[in-house]
Structure 1
Amino acid sequence: MEYKYITQDIIDSGGRNITSPEMFAEARVYNIEAMKNNIKRRRVHALFNTWVITQYVLVIWFMFSLIAVYSNDYVPTWRIILAALGFLGYLILVTYFIYIKNCRERYVLCLVSLPAILVSFIFLLFPVANFGIGWYYNNEENKLSKELGYPSFPRLLITTVNSDADSVTNLTYDSIREKAKRDHPHDGTFL
């Protein structure tokens, strides 16, 4: 949405003294949109992180279930070593690139999940699913990056003090008292 009165500098300052009904309506619309965008961004991050943690759980569960299932059978040593290397490689690569380096590129997500295939061929789904979730994550981030207030989408503090103050930091007790006297004149008695 295009805004006439609100700019990124006003959002960065945190607030604005509203002097017209149009400014108030625009600030209200911005606050509503900022809240929606913030919720959408948190939802995308939560979905991504939930999927990565689910992968950890699935790989660990499947690795230990393989040990339990094949405990009485003969499994070649090379197969156990290969599965253990895939297991450790997957955990190290995913932890390093996704959580430490904060990489969310779909190709990197696909590549770092390839060692899980060494544990079992069922984990061929991980690179495909990671490619899809990486595409979704980057697509949503690109859409949101075009919105005003990105990346944190702070809400704008709206003040309606009729004073000469340009920002909230310039407000004084006297300017607020003058506004109260002007807007609500009385003779000094309460009843």
Structure 2
Amino acid sequence: MNRDDQHRARMPFPSRFLPGRGRVHAIVLALGVAAIVPTTLVDRSLGQPRPDDRPDRDVTVFGLLAEPGKSRVDPMLSPYAGPLRKLLPDHGLTLLGAESRRLTSNEALSCDLGHGRSLVVTLKAPLEGGKVHLCVQLLDDDRPRPVFITEVRTPAGQLVFLDKVQGASGDRLLVGVGAR
């Protein structure tokens, strides 16, 4: 066995069949294939927004007591006093409770209003066009069934007010609910 044969015997298998410059081309080609093939096998939707069956939403609910003939506005509501006075003129406004939390579909958020009453908001399945579907319930410890149940369908980021008269005094429960 001469020297060239000994050298070829020690070379890796593919190199035996390629001349010197051909080996470089083969290595570059192999590296190129190794870099390109995995990208063709990867899911093309990676990094792209996709529709989600259970999108998360920041849900907010609050309850206000609006008393006719009074002018007092709860100090917690002072930044919003102007728009609230336009909504309910000649009413005093008291914040009964407020809650906000991130929810997924079919999760609920509860807001204690005091005196055994609470608001429960459930985030339902998403609607077409990015609209939000919420179910709002007013619960009272003295009643076996909810005082009211209201379905709300609204664009994300829009606050909805529900106005419910409470008893003969004319007091109103103003419920604000929204999701973004």
- TM-score in terms of structure 1 length: 0.23
Q: Which structure has the highest helix share of the two?
A: 1
Q: Scaled by the length of structure 2, what TM-score is found?
A: 0.24
Q: Whose Rg is larger?
A: 2
Quick check: which one's strand share is greater?
2
